[in-house]
Amino acid sequence: MTQRVLTGITPSGTPHLGNYAGAIRPAVRASTQPDTDAFFFLADYHALVKCEDPSRVARSRLEIAATWIAAGLDPNKVTFYRQSDIPEIPEFCWMLTCVTNKGLMNRAHAYKGAVDQNTAKGVEPDDGINMGLFSYPILMAADILLFSAHLVPVGRDQIQHLEMARDIAHRFNHLYGQGQTLLTPPYELIDDSVATLPGLDGRKMSKSYDNTIPLFEGGEKLLRSAINSIVTDSKLPGEPKQTEGSHLFELYKAFASVEQTAQFEHELHDGLGWGEAKKKLFDLVNEELSPMREIYNDLMANPDRLEDMLLDGAVKARRIATPMIQTLRAAVGLRSPQSMQVAQPKTHKEKAKAVRVASFRGDEGFQFRLFDAADHEVFLSVPFPDPKQAGQLSKKLQAGEYRLESTANYYQLFVDEVLVAELTQEQQDRLKAAL
């Protein structure tokens, strides 16, 4: 079964080595896997949330696009586009904004973090916080849901965004789906094996810490200079070096084979000098980056080629986005009078049977909550290891395909002979009333 995997890249600065090892390289490799329909987009609307420098945004869009192509992303095999070239995204974002509770946005990590910082400074909680920062999880949900993405590669710190996107999708389906799944609930794809590179000072490589190693900017000269600036201990050549806790060794390991890593570790334990170790790291990294750097420099010198690639990608993306937005416009009532049919009012019984499911990833697995027509929670499911299984069971439950088994203290709810939840008498009564 082909799965659609969608990755967004915010053009907010010049890419560094940490971006390459932690996001770009693994994503490019994943895009070549069979049964994967890969979507990559430049999230330039998101860049406006924190950057008010037009020249920086424009330059970063070019640099990020050139970086991904140079790193091996094939625009002929994936869908590669700019967010701002898809007008259906902001239109859909407004639809989702109108069904998203403000309380959900209040819980977003970025917003809460900004409020906490203001509180610590003794200023108004919302001082300096724009609506872009407050509601950007809705725009992210629109990016994902418009293209019916099944999986979205994210770090663990972004799991909340996928949980919010699922909740918004379920809410939209509940209000407008009329028994159909208009929006596909997405799930996070987390690869714990992806490297998080240390910077020059040993902390996580980040522009915020000013400790990055450039990817292509400045060529070999700046790459060598940055690597020579890596902080090491004071042990002299000939003295054994510890590899545990050495961020120079961690950087080497991220680019070396198993055999090369073992050899480098042996040499450090035997007293290899830090200066020679840095030279070996430079040679290793530069060998991988050198052919990419040539492609990158060529693309930056010929931005029209990049523009053509991105516009071609936008055409591919809109082949999906345009009919999807037409379906969604009709669902919410934004359709031409000629296509409208007079809707029959629902009976009380039909209203009572309207239920909603909200899926999320908990500490022990994937779970869902069932809500009745009044949006009151009926029950919380047990955790499942597979999100697909949880989704399939919840759909069959909504269709009324379930079985209750009474025990001494509670009721067991089964769907396809799989235990879904254990209910109190009150929950069992509410379930029967809802379904």
Helix (H) or strand (E) holding 370: strand 366-371
Query: Other CB atoms closer than 10 Å to residue 65's CB: what's the count?
Result: 27
Contacting residues for 281 by C-beta, under 8 A, at least 6 apart: 227, 230, 248, 251, 252
Q: Is 298 annotated as a binding residue?
A: no
> What SS3 class is residue 318?
helix
Are 82 and 40 spatial neighbours (Cβ–Cβ below 8 Å)?
no
Q: Is 206 annotated as a binding residue?
A: yes
Sheet holding 366-371, edge to edge: 356-361, 366-371, 377-380
Q: Is 208 annotated as a binding residue?
A: yes
DSSP string across 41-70: EE-HHHHTTT---HHHHHHHHHHHHHHHHH
Q: Is 391 annotated as a binding residue?
A: no
Are 42 and 75 spatial neighbours (Cβ–Cβ below 8 Å)?
no
The torsion angles phi and psi of 367, rounded to 5 degrees, stand at -130, 170
Q: Is 340 annotated as a binding residue?
A: no
Residue at 383: amino acid letter: P
Dihedral sign from CA coordinates of 379, 383, 389, 391: positive
For residue 147, is it left (φ>0), alpha (ψ between -120 and 50) or beta? alpha
Q: Is 155 annotated as a binding residue?
A: yes
Q: Is 207 annotated as a binding residue?
A: yes
Q: Is 10 annotated as a binding residue?
A: yes
Q: Is 143 annotated as a binding residue?
A: yes
Distance CA 138, CA 302 (A): 35
Are 78 and 40 spatial neighbours (Cβ–Cβ below 8 Å)?
yes
Q: Is 313 annotated as a binding residue?
A: no
Q: Is 198 annotated as a binding residue?
A: no
Q: Is 261 annotated as a binding residue?
A: no
**Spatial CA neighbour of 149 closest among 186, 202, 97, 183:** 186
Q: Is 370 annotated as a binding residue?
A: no
Contacting residues for 389 by C-beta, under 8 A, at least 6 apart: 366, 418
Longest dimension (CA), the chain: 86
Binding-site residue numbers are 10-12, 18-19, 143, 155-157, 197, 204-208
Binding residues for ATP: 10-12, 18-19, 155-157, 197, 204-208
- Mark the binding-site residues for L-tryptophan, compressed into ranges: 143
